[in-house]
Amino acid sequence: MKISSVLFVSGALVFALGGAFIVRGMTVTPAKPVHPKVDITPEPAPIYAPVLTAGRELHPGDFIGANDVYWKQVDRDYPSEFYFKKEPGGLTEIYGSTVNQLVPKGELLTYDVVVKPGQPGFIASVLTPGKRAVAIPTDAVSSSSGLVQAGDHVDVILGLEDKQSGKKSDKDDALMSFPFVASQTLVTNVRVLALNNKERSALRIKEDKEKSKEKAVYPETVTLEVTPKQAERLTVARELGNLQLVIRAVNDSTTEETSSAELAARDVTTLSDTTDVYKQLQSPAATVIQYQGSVMKAAQVSN
């Protein structure tokens, strides 16, 4: 074979092999680059302050206790100007409060709905429907030395005293003062709502030791829950004399209807019903008859 032919065949073979390698390189998929694995932790969901929620249906006049409300975890931030948000101290500041409108179970409570003792609207919220609140003057004696407290039930007695009236004595024709005094029970079994301007809830909680050491302050006015007619009677009576509060037992089951019937038939208690002292002073003097011979003399002696 000629040398030229050999070279031609060898060159063709080289070109063929080179083309094969080129085609193979073009058809093979290049390997993907390997990147280090990075763990991505999702951001935690925001946690908002729990909000006070009604645990049952609350009605005006219901006093809020431990089983009536709870802190509810919410999914957004509620403004603290309108909602009760959980703070240190728990629910103590809420206990004893009431609401001024119906609050369904599970609804968030707001400041304009919850009324605490001492706040405007508390008396109106705890009043029994159909009743009225009337304030009458009192003092340490009339309020049983300050033992009357909000939530107690009392009777109210009107006492009259007129020291200007009097009767003449048969002994020396001088004017002896016999006071015209009388009393009558005007209303019975009425609830005490407030003393002075301090209302107290029927729900009592543990008091602070420092507050319990405070000096007792005797009330000057007491606010009672009465019927409209009873309010009229007390309004007139407080202009006539002294009104005395009489505390009733907590288990006294006497109803207002029964008490009203008793009042209709009850007599006024006067001085003569209380003591016989003035009866003795008004009784005529004893007469003594003396005989001196044929002459009879009659003389009166004092008792």
Strand positions, DSSP E, 84-151: 98-99, 114-115, 132-137
Rounded Cα gap, residues 73 and 52, in angstroms: 9
What does pTM read for this prediction? 0.64
The tens digit of pLDDT for each residue in 61-75 reads: 888 988 899 999 998
The tens digit of pLDDT for each residue in 119-144 reads: 888 888 889 899 999 998 887 666 66
The tens digit of pLDDT for each residue in 265-279 reads: 567 887 777 777 766
Strand positions, DSSP E, 84-179: 98-99, 114-115, 132-137, 153-162, 167-168, 175-176
- pLDDT greater than 80 at residue 37: no
pLDDT at 226: 94
Mean pLDDT (whole number) for 224-236:
93
Residue type, 263: L
Evaluated on CA atoms 247, 250, 255, 258, the torsion sign reads: negative
The tens digit of pLDDT for each residue in 190-206 reads: 999 888 776 665 566 66
- 118 vs 254, more confident: 118
pLDDT at 295: 54
The position carrying tokens 């060159």 is: 11
Q: β-strands 114-115, 98-99: how paired?
A: antiparallel
